[in-house]
Amino acid sequence: MAVDVAGLFAEREGDRYALHTRYLNEQMVRVLRTVGFDRQYQRGSGQYLYDAEGEQYLDLLSGWGVFALGRNHPAMREALKGVLDAELPNLVQLDLSALAGVLAERLLHRIPYLEKVFFANSGTETVEAALKFARAATGRPGIVYCSHAFHGLSYGALSVNGDPVFRSGFGPLLPNCVEVPFNDLDALQRALASRRMAGFIVEPIQGKGVILPHDDYLAGAIELCRQSGTLFIADEIQTGLGRTGRFLAVEHWGIEPDMVLLAKSLSGGHVPVGALATRKWIHDKVFDRMDRAVVHGSTFAKNDLAMAAGLATLDVLSSEALIENAAEKGTRLLQVFRQMAARYELVKDVRGKGLMIGVEFGMPQSLRLKASWKLLEAANTGLFCQLIVIPLLTEHKLVAQVAGHGSHTVKLLPPLIISDEDCDWIERGFDAVIRAAHRVPGAAWKLGKLLAENALAARAS
Ligand SMILES: Cc1ncc(COP(=O)(O)O)c(C=O)c1O
């Protein structure tokens, strides 16, 4: 008899914290409990999550950016069921997948200056492929990457990760990886000058902190790469597939990278998949002889469920005009947040494109607020943002995240299907929470005191 997945979930979902404490990552359980995020979601539909009480939440996190179409989109479900119902041959290995051919064709139709696709199973695996392809194509050892970059956590990707928190304890990492500050063309020029750099890997908009490039940065960077024979690798794993209001974020700056990396949303959130699109000559350097036909790859890449998820994603992005919706709703939300920045001294900056938005908080001017801010930050840098995301969840049912370790930026990465009513909901929730954070003493700073005490106690233990 088949496993009754729905029945099993219903029977055991109440045990999830106990199961994870016992068998999985206990620290994650502690984190969720400490910040009061220990909801027990029972169902996901579109941009909404539902808990045991039937309470509806608006998801501004999208599973770290995978649910561009929302959860359980009917077209995605149909496509995935279709694969199983068709009893396709799938992963014969000594055969070629028709669905992979069609997905590659459709992806390249959207990126017409590139000619080949390599499929992987996740974002980090796609990054690994890019690093290997860059070395193989150029015969050079080095990779340049940016401070604060995030490209994944496997060893190659970790070696080009610009956040010491992730790297610490795992060394030694790949040699010949050189860090440069984001948005600094002079530093990039210096790093490329040795002419030993195979690739420059960069997120067009950095996910950690939602940092935008200066207007001339990406065009300047690609020009420097061309001059020094270094390949320009655009990591669009988070920004791609409509997230920023264009199919690729690089389109905002009119550049044509040598490699474009996609993953996250391509999966529909349901079947992991990554795709590296590149130039034919680069691909040909890797797969250069018959006996090297499988020199890079992995067992599950190009599996039919993943390919179908990718095809359904591309289909829904255009049939529901989701890229246009991301652009429109993003413009609206940015305007709303900029108005808040003008009203509230704690809001320092508002950044973003499409539905990738960062709201940055910073030290206020007024004395009482400033004193409270300093106390909180002395306990733990970035703790202030918890005063925003916790009540967003508990009081306004908005699931949002802080954009990285020690960050003062709250990030919004909602499904691209959000409606005007959802934008109203976001505006109401953020406005109320930010307004409350300006009241000292008040409930927000009472929570702050508690969090600071917890942080100090954790440090002492
Ligand atoms: C820009 C970027 N690259 C790569 C990755 C790694 O993707 P994955 O978590 O699927 O390995 C991420 C994940 O957040 C990302 O944001």
Q: What's the pLDDT band for 380 if we cut at 50, 70, 90?
A: confident
Looking at the CA of residue 274, tell me the nearest atom of ligand 1.
10
Model confidence pLDDT, tens digit, residues 237-255: 999 999 999 999 999 999 9
Active-site residue flag, 264: yes
Does the beta carbon of 244 lie inside 6 Å of ligand 1? no
Distance of alpha carbon 321 from the chain centroid:
21
* pLDDT score at 307: 98
Q: Does 283 have pLDDT greater than 90?
A: yes
Q: Percent of the chain scored above 90 by pLDDT?
A: 89
Q: Whose CA is nearest to atom 8 of ligand 1?
A: 123
Over residues 199-231, the pLDDT tens digits come to 999 999 999 999 999 999 999 999 999 999 999
Q: Which pLDDT value is given to residue 181?
A: 98
Catalytic residue at 235?
A: yes
SS3 for 358? Answer: strand
Q: Assign 450 a pLDDT band (cuts: 50, 70, 90).
A: confident
User: 386 CA to middle of ligand 1, Å?
Assistant: 23
For 241, list phi and psi in degrees, rounded to 5: 60, 40
Whole-angstrom distance, CA of residue 136 vs CA of residue 129: 10
What pLDDT digit, counting tens, does each position of 113-165 carry?
A: 999 999 999 999 999 999 999 999 999 999 999 999 999 999 999 999 999 99
Ligand 1 contact via 150 beta carbon (within 6 Å): yes
Report pLDDT for 440: 87
**Of 457 and 317, the one with more pLDDT:** 317
Look at the block and give the residue holding tokens 């020009």: 223
- Whether 313 has a pLDDT exceeding 90, the answer reads yes
Rg of the chain on CA atoms, in Å: 23
Active site residue 208: no
pLDDT at 459 over 80: no
Q: Calculate mean pLDDT across residues 298-304.
A: 96
Helix (H, G, I), strand (E, B) or coil at 171: coil
End-to-end Cα separation, the chain, in angstroms:
49
DSSP assigned state of 373: H
Give the number of other Cβ atoms within 10 Å of residue 43's Cβ. Answer: 14
Which of the residue ranges 199-208, 353-362, 396-405, 449-458 would you say has the lowest mean pLDDT?
Answer: 449-458
Q: Which of 158, 238, 239, 298 to mutate to test the pocket of ligand 1 (most atoms within 8 A of CB)?
A: 238
Ligand 1 neighbour 240 (Cβ under 6 A): no
Compute, in angstroms, the gap from residue 238 CA to the centroid of ligand 1: 7
Most ligand 1 atoms within 8 A of CB, residue of 125, 148, 150 to mutate: 150
d(CA 207, CA 200): 17
CA distances from 295 to 97, 390, 407, 458 (A): 18, 48, 40, 47
Two tokens, residue 172: 């030694």
- Residue pair 418/47 in contact by the 8 Å Cβ criterion: yes
| CA 321 to ligand 1 center in whole angstroms | 25
Token pair belonging to 361:
């908080």
Q: What is the pLDDT of residue 161?
A: 97
Q: Are 211 and 182 in contact (CB under 8 A)?
A: yes
In what helix (H) or strand (E) does residue 410 lie, and over which residues does it extend?
Answer: strand 409-412
Residue nearest to atom 10 of ligand 1 (CA): 123
9-50 pLDDT tens trace: 999 999 999 999 999 999 999 989 988 888 889 999 999 999
Ligand 1: does its nearest atom lie under 6 Å from the Cβ of 151? Answer: yes
Predicted confidence band of residue 364 (pLDDT cuts 50, 70, 90): very high
How confident is the model over 63-73, as pLDDT tens digits? 999 999 999 99
User: Who contacts 451 (Cβ-Cβ below 8 Å, separation ≥6)?
Assistant: 35, 376, 379, 380, 383, 386, 387
pLDDT, tens digit, for every residue of 265-275? Answer: 999 999 999 99
C-beta of 404 in contact with ligand 1 (< 6 A): no
- Which pLDDT does position 193 carry in this prediction? 97
Q: Residue 92: what residue type?
A: V
Q: What is the pLDDT of residue 282?
A: 98
Ligand 1 close to Cβ of residue 127 (< 6 A):
yes
Is ligand 1 within 6 A of the CB of residue 128?
no
Q: What is the pLDDT of residue 220?
A: 98
Backbone phi, then psi, for 209, in 5-degree steps? 90, -5
For residue 278, give the nearest of 219, 232, 324, 214 by alpha carbon: 232
Contact 139, 199 (CB under 8 A): no
Cβ(268)–Cβ(313) below 8 Å: yes
Choice among 116, 208, 264, 397 that is catalytic: 264
Contact 133, 278 (CB under 8 A): yes
Task: Please report where in the chains the tokens 């029977």 appear, as a residue.
Answer: 11
Half-sphere exposure of 184 (CA within 13 A, CB side): 14
Share of the chain above pLDDT 70, in %: 100
Query: What's the pLDDT score for residue 427?
Result: 98
Q: Is residue 232's pLDDT more than 90?
A: yes
What count of other Cβ atoms lies within 10 Å of the Cβ of residue 447? 19
Q: Tell me the whole-structure pTM to 2 decimals.
A: 0.97
Dihedral sign for Cα atoms in the order 255, 256, 261, 267: positive
